[in-house]
């Protein structure tokens, strides 16, 4: 509801909205946004009419001319590009799938028409928790937790692998992640977000028809700090940035010691429009 400020600057509103009015308007927007329509034009008419009725009923309008409606339309269409939620959400999913690949090798010199194929069915489960808390009109707190477990069974047939052309293995993996974020939203075009993420991953591979021991069984953890922004200075000047870095530790099952290292990345985009 940062549009409240723009309305006041343009002399559209008689007064500032109270905190209760902002809450009621937010509830109204959530209701009309979740209505079902088969015609997008009728949806727009209903949505804008509902918000307009709120301003009229609460005697907030000083002027209802073109400036009011064009600003309302602008915020309704583009004011939710940076999503903000409120409350606690738990969710769970059952995962499953099947993959199959096949390749045929045709060699004219030695009439070798052999090929390879593999199948990978998998199943798992995912549980997530998301918490969103708007501190005020401009500030937002959010946190999330997720836990994922997955099982894969791989069967492959490759005649070019002399030691083990028929390979079967089971792979078990578990992934846990958590994050905490602060967001600042001064208007509908600008936002700044920074926070911390923690990631823990474990994988174990079990070969079924061979004495081979997997060297890919490992667990790793990483902690990452990040900063993201899209800053709208003016219609002519804009800046977007994504900067992150952290510490990662990997421990393989058959290694005596683990690997500790730093990783990071950054992306900066500055836009200056000449015309």
The answer on pLDDT for 160 being more than 50 is yes
The answer on pLDDT for 163 being more than 60 is no
Residue range 117-145, pLDDT digits in tens: 788 888 999 999 999 998 888 899 999 99
Q: What is the pTM of this model?
A: 0.68
CA max distance for the chain: 88
Residue range 172-185, pLDDT digits in tens: 999 999 999 999 99
b/e map 209-228, b = 16+ CB within 10 Å: eeeeebeebbbbbbebebeb
Greatest mean pLDDT range, 108-117, 138-147, 198-207, 210-219 = 138-147
- Residue 81's pLDDT is 72
d(CA 34, CA 24): 16
CA-based nearest residue to 118, from 150, 151, 152, 158:
158
């Amino acid at each position: 509801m940062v549009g409240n400020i723009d309305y006041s600057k343009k002399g559209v509103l008689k007064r500032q909205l109270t905190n209760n009015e902002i809450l009621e308007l937010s509830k109204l927007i959530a209701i009309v946004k979740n209505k079902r329509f088969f015609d997008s034009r009728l949806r727009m008419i209903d949505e804008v009419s509902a918000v307009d009725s709120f301003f009229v009923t609460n005697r907030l309008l000083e002027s209802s001319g073109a400036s009011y409606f064009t600003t309302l339309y602008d915020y309704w269409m583009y004011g939710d590009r940076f999503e903000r939620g409120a409350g606690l959400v738990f969710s769970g999913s059952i995962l499953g799938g099947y993959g199959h690949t096949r390749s045929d090798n045709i060699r004219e010199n030695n009439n070798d028409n052999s090929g390879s194929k593999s199948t990978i069915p998998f199943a798992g489960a995912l549980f997530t928790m998301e918490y969103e808390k708007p501190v005020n009109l401009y500030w937002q707190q959010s946190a999330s937790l997720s836990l994922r477990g997955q099982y894969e069974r791989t069967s492959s047939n490759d005649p070019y692998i002399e030691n083990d052309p028929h390979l079967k293995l089971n792979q078990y993996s578990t992934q846990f992640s958590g994050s905490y974020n602060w967001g600042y939203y001064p208007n509908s075009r600008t936002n700044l977000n920074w926070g911390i993420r923690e990631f823990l991953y474990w994988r174990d591979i079990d070969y079924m028809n061979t004495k081979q021991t997997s060297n890919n069984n490992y667990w790793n953890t990483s902690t990452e700090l990040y900063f993201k922004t899209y800053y709208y200075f003016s219609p002519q000047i804009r800046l977007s940035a994504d900067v992150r870095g952290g510490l990662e530790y990997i421990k393989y099952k058959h290694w005596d010691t683990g690997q500790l290292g730093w990783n990071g990345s950054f992306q900066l985009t500055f836009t200056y429009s000449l015309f």
